[in-house]
Structure 1
Amino acid sequence: MHSLGFLTLGASAGLLSGLLLPAGSARNSAALSLVALTPIVLSGTLVFLHPTLAQSPAMHFYGIGLLVALMWQGVAASISALNLPFRQQRSLALVNIVASLILTGWALRFYLQQA
């Protein structure tokens, strides 16, 4: 059950940062980019430095949840790129979507094997 908690902690930190990061990069503000990375830094500090959590065998699920959430932030842009008239951009968007599906399936399989 600890693995599900670490997975959701990483996914929520990645989701928050992914939602805040495009706003920071559009304005080119270093302070806003730092604010966007704060959820990852704070939750990662909690996971790796808290004595009880640092000794958990399911600690690696934090990173898996973080990567899956950040990866799916890019899928939204890829879905909108499927409507572009350029064939190369459409094919790259399709590759991104398929790779995200495969990697998410791998992470789910890895989670189910550990649970």
Structure 2
Amino acid sequence: MIVDVRIYTCLPNRMMEFVKLYEEKAWPLQLKYLENCLGWYTTVEGELNTVVHLWSYKDQGDREQRRAAMAADPAWASFLAEGAKAGMLVKMENRIVKEAPHFTKWKAK
């Protein structure tokens, strides 16, 4: 299993606007295509105006297939265009991580 950690930094005072747009337009599509959301968070302390969400995939091939299907949906292109036009984001990051062997063994207990 791999986890796609997605980190979005919003302009000050625009995070909730981004969250609202995401909830209305992107969330239903991501649940449909990506399915396996492990968590969706906004920061309380640390780097403010930041949204973090995590998506689980069987492997990199599974991730690529699911994301390609979502990208082919015209509703996804519409969300991206609306988000770009609104100009709420400063930075977007994603990291692919996997469990360390000791954690996998601990979790299995």
Q: Same fold (TM over 0.5)?
A: no
* TM-score for the superposition, normalised by structure 2: 0.30
Computing the radius of gyration over CA atoms, which structure comes out larger, 1 or 2?
Answer: 1
Q: Please report the TM-score for the alignment, with normalisation by the length of structure 1.
A: 0.29
Is the helix fraction higher in 1 or 2? 1
Higher strand share: 2
Larger RCO of the pair (alpha carbons < 8 Å, separation 6+)? 2
